């Protein structure tokens, strides 16, 4: 019996080592002027942050199926706008989703209606976020929910902001958080420093302020966007600000899907599904 327990212990320890030495990937999907990102941990956990529009959800679903993914361990709906939650309806219908985190807010639009309808059959756990919360996964990946700090009342101000850390590497996902949110995070002095920043609100000028960027100090910035668009995003003032700080900018309209890989010690330039311009080479 002791011999069996010994081998079980050795197996579990070896699996832990393999997980700690494994790779974490972050893929930002090219789903138009919308957000959808998938994190795959060294232990095979899958975290989906937003799902784009209803059309974007189809692309995310096809990607998951191509990788034979059947389960989403954590789904995060940053806020109820259709370009963020519209695609989550398809994921909820076609995959096992174990846990869902959202703000509890509602928004009257077709995309959110589909999401709300899909939730009727949801059998996993639902957590409405307000106040800081940290999740630590078996893979050694940590999710630090930084916002909202109150019961959500305003879609953008109370948008979910989450910092995901693996070893020494961190990525900050800001949804459509605005300058008010950034001010709150700076005032609270929460940990913001991150290697990768998902630029808020598709590069709109109501966010990504100078002081906030200094606190995050990212090496890479990702802007999910399609151009041209009726909003004129990303706004030039934001692009100029990123450039002046020496931050490498990757846009889904230029790069397609954008995938970062890290061993928890370092992270290099991402792989893109479109040929990169000379600016990125």
Is residue 20's pLDDT more than 50? Answer: no
Please tell me the pTM assigned to this model.
Answer: 0.91
Q: What is the pLDDT of residues 187-196, one digit of tens each?
A: 999 999 999 9
Model confidence at 281, pLDDT cuts 50, 70, 90, reads low
Is residue 10's pLDDT more than 60? Answer: no
Third-level CATH fold of 23-266: Metallo-beta-lactamase; Chain A (3.60.15)
Average pLDDT over residues 116-124: 94
**What is the residue-averaged pLDDT of the chain?**
92
Per-residue pLDDT at 21? 59
Contact 160, 143 (CB under 8 A): no
Burial of 205 (0-12, 13-18, 19+ CB in 10 A): middle
**Strand runs labelled E in the chain:** 24-28, 36-40, 46-51, 71-76, 96-102, 125-128, 133-136, 141-147, 161-166, 169-173, 196-198, 220-223, 248-251, 258-262, 271-272
Q: What is the pLDDT of residues 206-240, one digit of tens each?
A: 999 999 999 999 999 999 999 899 999 999 999 99
Domain extent listing, the chain: 23-266
Q: What is the largest CA-CA distance in the chain?
A: 69
Q: How far from 19 is each of 6, 104, 111, 279, CA to CA, in Å?
A: 20, 33, 37, 35
Is residue 19's pLDDT more than 80? Answer: no
């Amino acid at each position: 019996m002791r011999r069996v327990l010994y081998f079980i212990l050795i197996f579990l320890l070896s699996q832990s080592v393999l997980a700690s030495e494994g790779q974490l990937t972050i893929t930002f999907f090219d789903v138009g002027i919308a957000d959808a990102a998938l994190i795959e941990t060294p232990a095979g956990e899958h975290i989906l942050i937003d799902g784009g529009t209803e059309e974007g959800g189809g692309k995310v679903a096809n990607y998951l199926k191509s990788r034979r993914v059947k389960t989403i361990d954590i789904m995060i709906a940053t806020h109820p706008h259709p370009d963020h939650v519209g695609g989550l309806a398809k994921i909820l219908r076609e995959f096992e989703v174990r846990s869902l985190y959202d703000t509890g807010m509602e928004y009257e639009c077709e995309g959110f209606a589909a999401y709300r309808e899909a939730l009727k059959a949801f059998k996993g756990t639902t957590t409405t976020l307000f106040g800081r919360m940290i999740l630590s996964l078996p893979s050694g990946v940590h999710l630090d929910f930084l916002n909202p700090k109150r019961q959500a009342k305003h879609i953008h101000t109370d948008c979910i902001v989450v910092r995901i850390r693996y070893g020494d590497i961190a990525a900050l996902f800001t949804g459509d958080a605005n300058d008010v949110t950034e001010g709150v995070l700076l005032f609270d002095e929460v940990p913001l420093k991150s290697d990768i920043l998902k630029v808020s609100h598709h590069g709109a000028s109501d966010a990504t302020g100078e002081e906030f960027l200094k606190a995050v100090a990212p090496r890479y910035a990702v802007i999910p966007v399609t151009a041209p668009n009726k909003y004129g995003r990303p706004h030039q003032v934001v692009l100029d600000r990123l450039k002046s700080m020496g931050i490498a900018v990757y846009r889904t309209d230029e790069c397609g899907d954008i995938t970062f890989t890290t061993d928890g010690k370092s992270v290099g330039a991402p792989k893109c599904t479109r040929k990169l311009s000379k600016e990125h080479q």
